[in-house]
Amino acid sequence: MAKLAHAQWSSKMAFVLAAAGSAVGLGNIWRFSYLVGESGGAAFVLVYLACVALVGVPILLSEWLIGRRGQKNPIDSMRELAKQSGKSQGWALVGISGVLAGFLILSFYSVIGGWSLNYTLSSVMGTFSGQDADSVSEIFSGMLASPGTLLLWHSAFMLLVIGIVARGVTKGLESAVRSLMPALVILMLILVGYGMTTGHFGEALEFMFSPDWSALDGGVVLAAMGQAFFTLSLGMGIMMAYGSYLGEDVNLLSTARTVIIIDTAIALLAGLAIFPIVFANGLSAGEGPGLIFVTLPIAFGNMSGGVILGLMFFLLLTFAALTSAISLLEPTVEMLEERTPLSRITATLVSGIAIWLLGVAALLSFNLWSDVLFFGLNIFNLLDTFTAKILLPLTGLGAVVFVAWCLERKGVEQELALSATGMNVWNIVARFIAPIGVIAVFLAGIL
Ligand code: PFF
């Protein structure tokens, strides 16, 4: 794959935007907030932040490094680098499990993207105006109980993703991300401001940042690590694919810092916007995946300008979900395109339809198939749990272990451009802390 021939600044900017566009999505607002609520608050948040720093950073750097040195799609980059370092071709499995994870995640991600689309329309129509907590909850459970509504919006979301990926219009998306990301941040700040007027902001701050360590167990730590992977789009070869388009002039560490700061800031702002509303309205923080859909509409329905703000919020959320969903479909399409005779459009259609079908099974677990359980989990939760707690950590572990232990040290030094001390820190973190952390948390969670 040819490297970008852009001027240094613009290629770096484009890369930061693409990576941030993939990272910032439903994970930051929808998934982060409901996991915090379900897992007891601050203990989860602090473990999550530690996971981002100690595990997320080295794995993000490893994935980019593999892409930039391999210059191919994730599977072939792994294979090529393993060959160059005299290691087993079995390392290609790391790429394969990443592509599989992306495929599975997109199926349920699209269902939530559909909720967000639906809520965009409801906001325009003023459905939430003046509604209290009970009626907003009812609107949400009404949507979940209706397979037809969920199917309609999941299909609409998936159609958008397929349409965009088939055309390969990533250029247009880059410029859109550039203006929409700041808009999302501003809107989150307005919502945090609204949270401050509820009189329950202090309670929310305490919930998010003052830990009750007794709430901590293996499950919470595993969920926090799963979230660190999910939110940074790690463990799915996406960052490897993006790395393969990277010029040598881009400093990986500073880019990682930018992407991580944006991603983490949006998640924390989401929490600070949502929990005051939860407490002010006597809602349960442990509501689960519906949390933002039963809290934020209450705020929008009862503040001046709420119709416009609600519309903007759900539009931006849908957009953030779309840029992430596109990055999720891309590896599967790329793989089919390169390994089968299918054209890009057919490959997009085939994988899109397969993912859509799996998504239908996921959405039925909210109604008709709510009793269909595997290992005690419905299909939706099974897909989320299996990917976030098993596939993502294993793929990420493979990437960091490969870079830290198998690649030639000189090459790694060149790629990371670290000082001698920096290199020592890298060696400790990437060789020991991150892998041991992932393995320990992973085992604690499944045993
Ligand atoms: N990082 C995205 C989010 O937080 O919403 C979701 C996501 C995108 C997860 C791409 C995984 C992925 F590969």
* pLDDT value at residue 49: 97
Q: For ligand 1, is residue 19 a contact (CB within 6 Å)?
A: no
* pLDDT value at residue 317: 93
DSSP 55: I
User: Is residue 158 a contact partner of residue 352, using CB atoms and an 8 Å limit?
Assistant: yes
User: Own/partner pairs for 49-55, CB < 8 Å, 24+ apart?
Assistant: 49/264, 51/224, 51/225, 51/227, 51/228, 51/437, 52/228, 52/231, 52/232, 52/260, 52/264, 54/429, 54/433, 54/434, 54/437, 55/225, 55/228, 55/396, 55/433, 55/434, 55/437, 55/438
Residues 29, 37: Cα–Cα separation, whole Å: 12
Q: Which residues pair with 377 in a beta bridge?
A: 374
Task: Tell how far the Cα of 232 is from the centroid of ligand 1, in angstroms.
Answer: 6
Q: Whose CA is nearest to atom 12 of ligand 1?
A: 233
* pLDDT value at residue 395: 94
Q: For ligand 1, is residue 266 a contact (CB within 6 Å)?
A: no
Task: Tell how far the Cα of 263 is from the centroid of ligand 1, in angstroms.
Answer: 11
Q: For ligand 1, is residue 62 a contact (CB within 6 Å)?
A: no
Q: Whose CA is nearest to atom 13 of ligand 1?
A: 233
For the chain, the structural domain boundaries read 12-446
Task: Tell how far the Cα of 235 is from the centroid of ligand 1, in angstroms.
Answer: 10
Atom of ligand 1 nearest to the CA of 32: 4
* pLDDT value at residue 168: 67
Q: For ligand 1, is residue 231 a contact (CB within 6 Å)?
A: yes
User: Is residue 445 a contact partner of residue 393, using CB atoms and an 8 Å limit?
Assistant: no
Q: For ligand 1, is residue 323 a contact (CB within 6 Å)?
A: no
Task: Show the tokens assigned to 134.
Answer: 């009970």
Q: For ligand 1, is residue 324 a contact (CB within 6 Å)?
A: yes
Task: Tell how far the Cα of 409 is from the centroid of ligand 1, in angstroms.
Answer: 30
Q: For ligand 1, is residue 233 a contact (CB within 6 Å)?
A: yes
pTM above 0.85, yes or no: yes
User: Is residue 97 a contact partner of residue 394, using CB atoms and an 8 Å limit?
Assistant: yes
Atom of ligand 1 nearest to the CA of 232: 1
Q: What is the pLDDT along the chain (447 residues), one digit of tens a residue?
A: 333 332 333 467 778 888 888 999 999 999 999 999 999 899 999 999 999 999 999 999 999 999 999 888 889 899 999 999 999 999 999 999 988 998 999 999 999 999 999 999 999 998 998 888 999 999 999 999 999 999 999 999 999 999 888 876 566 566 667 778 888 889 899 999 999 998 999 999 999 999 999 988 888 998 999 899 999 999 988 898 888 878 788 899 999 999 999 999 999 999 999 999 999 988 899 988 999 999 999 988 888 888 888 898 999 899 889 989 988 887 788 778 878 899 889 999 999 999 999 999 999 999 999 999 999 999 999 999 899 888 999 999 999 999 999 998 888 999 999 999 999 999 999 999 999 999 988 887 677
* pLDDT value at residue 134: 93
Q: Whose CA is nearest to atom 11 of ligand 1?
A: 233
Residues 299, 210: Cα–Cα separation, whole Å: 25
CATH code that applies to domain 12-446: 1.10.4160.10
